[in-house]
């Protein structure tokens, strides 16, 4: 017979995982057309299953670990602003460790542009990478440092900004205005986090993508890659792709936070 504390932990954990997964699912369903519209004017939901299968558990990890790190930090009597930011950083680093192998496989598939007729499956690509390059930082976990930077910085700003600003801005008794208040703060959170973390995103793409010269590894570590891009291509090269990223993660980030908050509150009340 589990103790009340043990039982309450698993109840709370399941609520956080379900709420986080729901946030990822809704965000993908709403924002996926933005990915498709870049290349098509119809079939907005074509190819949506792989992102759903990848993003739903990823978002569950993000929100669940954020809540757990926050719970660990509260007894330390840190300022609330620090608690949210540090918990966000921890959730981002944890999320990065989980998702990095999937990112390596995804980038490998996207880089294989000349094999449309014989495009390998996701599992076949993963097996190929593990067999030829191994499980380490040159294989299935290539670019881990850049992924840690990307997710760690994003979640630190994303959660830290959202919860600190939300607590500072007075709430509204009107449900619609309260929803809009949270949405605008979430939109600002996703936008700001995207602007701050994009150099890590650029580094990750360079490290995990095809190298400029076959057989020569130019992009290896995160900071060295960032400095190389800066020296050879200029400061603005570190912000390539910022606009489409903001278009996706600004409103998408707001959607995730709101879906998580409302679904978590509903689960706490009815579960």
CATH number at residue 194: 1.50.40.10
Percent of the chain with pLDDT over 90: 56
Please tell me which of 30-34, 85-89, 130-134 the model is most confident about, judged by mean pLDDT. 85-89
User: Considering its fold, how many domains does the chain have in total?
Assistant: 1
Average pLDDT over residues 208-214: 86
pLDDT tens across 105-121, in order?
Answer: 888 776 665 545 566 77
Residue 178 within any structural domain of the chain: yes
Residue 1 within any structural domain of the chain: no
What's the chain's average pLDDT?
Answer: 86
Residue 2 within any structural domain of the chain: no
pLDDT tens across 27-47, in order?
Answer: 878 776 665 554 444 655 555
Tell me the pLDDT band of 188, cut-offs 50, 70 and 90. very high
Domain range for 44 is 20-270
pTM for the complete prediction? 0.86
Residue 43 within any structural domain of the chain: yes
Tell me the pLDDT band of 128, cut-offs 50, 70 and 90. confident
Tell me the pLDDT band of 271, cut-offs 50, 70 and 90. confident
Residue 195 within any structural domain of the chain: yes
Average pLDDT over residues 220-231: 95
Average pLDDT over residues 159-180: 95
Assess whether pLDDT exceeds 80 at residue 26: yes
**What pLDDT is attached to residue 259?**
95
**What pLDDT is attached to residue 46?**
55
Residue 14 within any structural domain of the chain: no
Residue 3 within any structural domain of the chain: no
pLDDT greater at residue 115 or residue 62: 62
Average pLDDT over residues 14-25: 89
Q: What is the DSSP string of the chain?
A: ---HHHHHHHHHHHHHHHHHHHHHHHHHHHHHHHHHHTT-SS-TTTT-HHHHHHHHHHHHHHHHHHHHHHHHHGGGT--HHHHHHHHHHHHHHHHHHHHHHHHHHHHHHHH-TT-STTPPPHHHHHHHHHHHH-SSTTTTTTTHHHHHHHHHHHHHHHHHHHHHHHHHSPP-SSHHHHHHHHHHHHHHHHHHHHHHHHHHHHHHHHHHS--SBTTB----SHHHHHHHHHHHH-GGGGGTTHHHHHHHHHHHHHHHHHHHHHHHHHHHHH-
Residue 149 within any structural domain of the chain: yes
Assess whether pLDDT exceeds 50 at residue 2: no
pLDDT greater at residue 11 or residue 193: 193
């Amino acid at each position: 017979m589990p103790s009340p504390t043990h039982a309450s932990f698993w109840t709370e954990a399941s609520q956080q995982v379900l709420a986080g997964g729901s946030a990822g699912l809704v965000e993908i369903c709403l924002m996926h057309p933005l990915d498709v519209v870049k290349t098509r004017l119809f079939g907005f939901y074509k190819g949506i299953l792989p992102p759903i299968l990848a993003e739903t558990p990823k978002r569950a990890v993000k929100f669940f670990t954020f809540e757990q790190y926050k719970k660990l930090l509260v007894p330390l009597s840190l300022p609330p602003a620090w608690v949210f930011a540090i918990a966000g950083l921890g959730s981002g680093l944890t999320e990065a460790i989980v998702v990095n192998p999937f990112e390596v496989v995804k980038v490998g598939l996207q880089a294989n542009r000349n094999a449309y007729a014989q495009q390998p499956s996701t599992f076949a690509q993963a097996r190929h990478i593990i067999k030829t390059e191994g499980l380490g930082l040159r294989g299935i976990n290539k670019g881990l440092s850049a992924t840690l930077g990307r997710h760690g910085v994003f979640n630190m700003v994303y959660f830290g900004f959202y919860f600190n600003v939300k607590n500072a801005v007075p709430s509204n008794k009107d449900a619609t205005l309260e929803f809009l208040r949270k949405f605008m703060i979430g939109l600002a959170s996703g936008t700001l986090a995207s602007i701050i973390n994009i150099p890590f995103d650029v580094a990750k793409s360079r490290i995990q993508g095809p190298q400029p010269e076959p057989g020569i590894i130019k992009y290896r570590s995160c900071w060295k890659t960032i400095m190389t891009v800066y020296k050879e291509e200029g400061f603005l090269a570190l912000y390539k792709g910022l606009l489409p990223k903001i278009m996706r993660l600004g409103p998408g980030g707001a959607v995730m936070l709101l879906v998580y908050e409302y679904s978590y509150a509903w689960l706490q009340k009815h579960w």
